């Protein structure tokens, strides 16, 4: 790390500048609103890191350095570590140098990924821990001097480590983007997900100056998303969301059963206070943490089991396609199970010319330097085709299957199960969470 002397004679740590010669084994693993995300091995540190390349040119370096210095003030377990600044060609990408941030790699992806894999929220003990950890991370950022605003708090910006602990990422990058481009407002309008987490005061004026209350509002909507496992206003048009939020509409609460878990009613009351219209009426993150800590302590003993169950579910998904396939060797007597099936083809046939030779024709005397000479006989490459006979397949929701000869393959799909946190019924009232024609 580098030390920089300031005007007061004090010293502060600045992040390292990391270049292509320090990195190897590049792989693109995703993309975000600010640029692509890559994975690479730091050859000197011996660890894999994440590189977020930002959509900016050389003129953004000073801005990026200033913001990265703030982001580098780590030390909180719920804030993603920023190791340094990146400058290079993303391994071997042609063109001018690219710039970005080198950060801690999170193997389990984001909270949005977890919601997708589970088809909803995780078990309540883990849900309450994630809620509390996000509040702790945001309170840390807001307590810095000067405070560091996130400005883009949403499920995809909450990352999970190997034990499913929550860590905030992309904090401060919204401010970097706004200082680098004039088209950010247009981009925000195109991204319904980001727009859905923005407070009404930010939607009302192009000249809005962000404050801590911005993040508090986003936290309220985020808590709703974590509790329900849904994306706010997912079926509403962007223009309608902007208009209705300004009019006071918020994500739908009608499907929530407050009796599903101890403390859930307190969480609902908290995020309703976070998304009130007037910024001055919203609580601070310290106030939020005081509430979430009490609820987390009520469920703390059950967190380990909840984490283990989720990790098992995630790990089982890796091999789910293999586990859903059952291959049964054909019985010797030729009698197979009586199932509805389809025969994949006719009896095997084979065509081979490996033992045949062909004589090259006598070439024209002007066509080749060796004209007039007889070529040695050439072997024709062997060509073999085979279609399995009598293979019968029972399948469900399968796109394609490759089958060896003489096997039965039964493809079984596990039945879908209702998550225990899912509501028993769905309200049919038309609102922003439903699709408008």
Q: Are the C-beta atoms of residues 300 and 292 closer than 8 Å to each other?
A: no
CA distances from 21 to 40, 41, 55, 101, 103 (A): 11, 11, 22, 16, 17
Peptide bond into 232 cis (omega under 30): no
Catalytic residue among 20, 152, 170, 188: 152
DSSP string, 65-79: HHHHHHHT----TTB
Residue 200 CA to its chain's centroid (Å): 27
Catalytic status, residue 152: yes
Degrees to nearest 5, angle at CA 199 with 194 and 202: 90
Instruction: Give the H or E element holding residue 82.
Output: strand 82-88
CB atoms within 10 A of CB 97: 15
What dihedral do alpha carbons 49, 54, 56, 57 form, nearest 10°?
A: 10
What dihedral do alpha carbons 184, 187, 189, 194 form, nearest 10°?
A: -90
DSSP string, 384-414: -----SS-BEE-SS-S-----TTEEEEE--P
Residues known to be catalytic: 152
């Amino acid at each position: 790390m580098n030390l920089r002397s300031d005007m007061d004679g004090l010293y502060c740590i600045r992040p390292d500048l990391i270049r292509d010669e320090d990195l190897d084994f590049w792989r693109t693993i995703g993309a975000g609103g600010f640029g692509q995300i890559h994975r690479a091995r730091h050859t000197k540190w011996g660890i894999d890191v994440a590189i977020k390349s930002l959509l900016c040119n050389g003129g953004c370096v000073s801005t990026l350095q200033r913001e990265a210095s703030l982001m580098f003030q780590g030390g909180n377990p719920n804030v993603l570590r920023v190791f340094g600044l990146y400058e290079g060609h993303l391994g071997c990408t042609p063109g001018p140098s690219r710039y970005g941030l080198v950060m801690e790699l999170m193997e389990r992806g984001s909270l949005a990924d977890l919601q997708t894999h589970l088809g909803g929220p995780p078990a309540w003990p883990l849900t309450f821990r994630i809620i509390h950890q996000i509040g702790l991370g945001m309170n840390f950022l807001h307590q810095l001097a000067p405070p560091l605003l996130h400005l883009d708090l949403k499920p995809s910006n909450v990352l999970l480590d190997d034990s499913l602990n929550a860590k905030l990422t992309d904090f401060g990058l919204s401010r970097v983007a706004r200082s680098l481009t004039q088209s950010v407002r247009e981009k925000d309008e195109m991204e319904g997900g980001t727009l859905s987490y923005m407070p009404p005061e930010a939607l009302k004026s192009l000249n809005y100056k962000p404050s801590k209350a911005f993040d508090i509002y986003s936290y309220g909507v985020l808590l709703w998303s974590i509790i329900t496992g849904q994306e706010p206003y997912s079926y509403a048009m962007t223009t309608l969301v902007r208009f209705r939020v300004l009019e006071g509409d918020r994500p739908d609460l009608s499907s929530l059963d407050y009796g599903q878990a101890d403390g859930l009613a307190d969480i609902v009351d908290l995020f309703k206070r976070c998304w009130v219209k007037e910024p001055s009426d919203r609580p601070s993150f310290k106030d939020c943490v005081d509430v979430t800590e009490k609820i987390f302590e009520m469920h703390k003993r059950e967190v380990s089991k909840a984490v283990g169950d989720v990790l098992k579910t995630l790990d089982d998904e890796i091999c789910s396609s293999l586990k859903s396939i059952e291959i049964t060797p054909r019985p010797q007597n030729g009698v197979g199970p009586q199932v509805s099936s389809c025969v994949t083809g006719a009896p095997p046939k084979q065509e081979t010319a490996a033992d045949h030779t062909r004589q090259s024709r006598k070439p024209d005397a002007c066509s080749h330097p060796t004209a007039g000479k007889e070529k040695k006989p050439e072997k024709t490459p062997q060509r073999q085709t085979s279609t399995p006979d009598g293979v019968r397949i029972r399948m469900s929701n399968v796109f394609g299957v490759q089958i060896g000869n003489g096997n039965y393959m039964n493809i079984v799909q596990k039945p879908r199960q209702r998550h225990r946190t899912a509501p028993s019924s769905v309200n049919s009232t038309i609102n922003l969470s439903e699709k408008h024609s």
